[in-house]
Amino acid sequence: MTKIFFAPMAGVGDSAFRTVCMRHGADGVTSEMISAKATVFGDKKTLELASRTNEETPFALQIFGSEPEIMAKGAKILAEKARPDSIDINMGCPVNKIVKNGEGSALMKRPELVYEIVARVTEAVYPLPVTVKIRSGIDENSINAVEVALMAEKGGASMLTVHGRTRSQLYAPPVNLDIIREVKRAVSCPVVGNGDIVSGETALKMLKETGCDHLMIGRGALGRPWIFNEIKAELFGTEKPSIPTGEELFEEILTHLDLAISLKGERQAIMESRAQIAWYVKGTKGAAKIRQRINSASSREQVVEILKEI
């Protein structure tokens, strides 16, 4: 059965948001990317990124890095501390800061190293499954997802997620569905199709055109975590979720905020929830005003007041 996962999203997909996605039908979540090196050095903030709620099951913990030895060590520490259901390796991050260290999508330039990293991590965390998330390639002249996917599979990857864009493309359209189909044809492990899934229609297109086994949604879930049940209803005929507006939307936002407060404390949760709230209210009447006022709110009480007024 096709599963719909929530994508790893650094700075956005924290434990509270991931939990909300699970409540709305996600079939699994992945942590924000976590530095293997910082983990090995025992960085406290890094380890905090690995925490999860019980509702986040199955929970994949994503690591990034470039040195097989350190990746393996970091993965083992995280596997023991956080008890994830799988370890995912980031080979898609396009951000300069990461790529200049040879990490994230830069790994796609080095298929031999991809093999080495996956093999070492797989060995280190056995019997936990290890999965890999890649892009279509570095740029339009080096679309090598098939080669990288085969090396990852040879190293022991039990599932591959393909975001159908190059590193140079960052998040610009279009998503290359052909390359996802080619990866699916080339490997024997399950393939997760990712990129621009925002509706039943785009989900179906991804499934039909690529033959992928599962789907992953990132930005489509921002302010719309019910997208998982929405798409399931369209694909499998399950019950359509009601799309919250007015009072119901207020309750949704508050539930999310309270969860964040319980996990991070009020101050940090309010700061980090500003963007989340802006996504929830996007498109509703007075959204710009709400955004502006929420940005200066510093307590739960103030947020509630602003939302109630509107």
Ligand X SMILES: Cc1cc2nc3c(=O)[nH]c(=O)nc-3n(C[C@H](O)[C@H](O)[C@H](O)COP(=O)(O)O)c2cc1C
Binding mask 87-116 for ligand X (x = CB under 6 A): ---x-xx-----------------------
User: At its nearest, how many Å lie between ligand X and the CB of residue 179?
Assistant: 14
Q: Which of 193, 218, 223, 225 binds ligand X (CB under 6 A)?
A: 218
| Number of residues binding to ligand X, judged by CB under 6 A | 22
Is position 197 an interface residue for ligand X (rule: CB under 6 A)? Answer: yes
User: Are 87 and 78 spatial neighbours (Cβ–Cβ below 8 Å)?
Assistant: yes
DSSP letters for 153-182: HHHT-SEEEEEEEETTTTTPSPP-HHHHHH
In this structure, the number of other CB atoms found within 10 A of the CB of residue 83 comes to 12
10: contact with ligand X by CB under 6 A? yes
* From candidates 5, 8, 78, 89, binder to ligand X by CB under 6 A: 8
- Does the active-site annotation cover 93? yes
Question: What is the SS3 assignment for 279?
Answer: helix
Report the sign of the C-alpha dihedral through residues 135, 138, 140, 146, in that order. Answer: negative
The burial class, CB within 10 Å (0-12 / 13-18 / 19+), for 288 is exposed
- What values do phi and psi take at 293, rounded to 5? -75, -35
Of the candidates 163, 181, 214, 264, which one interacts with ligand X according to CB under 6 A?
A: 163
Q: Retrieve residue 308's tokens.
A: 């109630």
Smaller CB separation from ligand X, 33 or 148: 33
Binding ligand X (rule: CB under 6 A), the pick from 76, 133, 167, 232 is 133
- Give the CA angle between residues 255, 259, 264 to the nearest 5°: 145
Closest to ligand X by CB, 28 vs 306, is: 28
Q: Which x/- pattern, by CB under 6 A, does the window 24-43 give for ligand X?
A: --------xx----------
Give the catalytic positions in this structure: 93
Residues at the site binding ligand X, with contacts judged by CB under 6 A: 7-12, 32-33, 62, 90, 92-93, 133, 163, 194-197, 217-220
